[in-house]
């Protein structure tokens, strides 16, 4: 896993957690995006499963999902994605930043 992939995975985890922790009736756009990503992964796996191939829920599959998330995030900056990431990160016990340092390095 590259540093970029690790950042994508961390951000995607925060996004998912933010959608999960968002109060009912809020972050509806972000929750719809999360559902769409799940459907996209199901759609990618379906042809392989139709051939009788086994498809695992591995780190590699998660990296693909995180990359798709990053693509949607990059192309749709006006959506609730960043807010959901922030909400998720604020609920995590792990601290992604230290006082006085920026939350993320510029891309």
Q: What is the pLDDT of residues 40-58, one digit of tens each?
A: 998 989 999 999 998 887 7
pTM for this model (two decimals):
0.77
Q: What is the pLDDT of residues 4-28, one digit of tens each?
A: 788 899 999 999 999 999 999 999 9
Q: What is the pLDDT of residues 61-72, one digit of tens each?
A: 888 999 999 999
Residue identified by tokens 């604020």 is 90
């Amino acid at each position: 896993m590259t540093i970029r992939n690790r950042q994508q995975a961390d951000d995607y985890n925060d996004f998912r957690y933010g959608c999960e922790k968002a109060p009912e009736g809020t972050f509806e756009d972000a929750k719809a995006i999360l559902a769409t990503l799940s459907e996209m992964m199901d759609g990618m796996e379906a042809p392989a499963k139709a051939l009788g191939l086994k498809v695992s829920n591995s780190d590699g599959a998660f990296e693909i999902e995180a990359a798709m998330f990053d693509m949607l995030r990059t192309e749709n900056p006006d959506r609730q994605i960043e807010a959901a990431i922030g909400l998720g990160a604020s609920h995590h016990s792990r601290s992604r930043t230290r006082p006085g340092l920026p939350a993320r390095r510029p891309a």
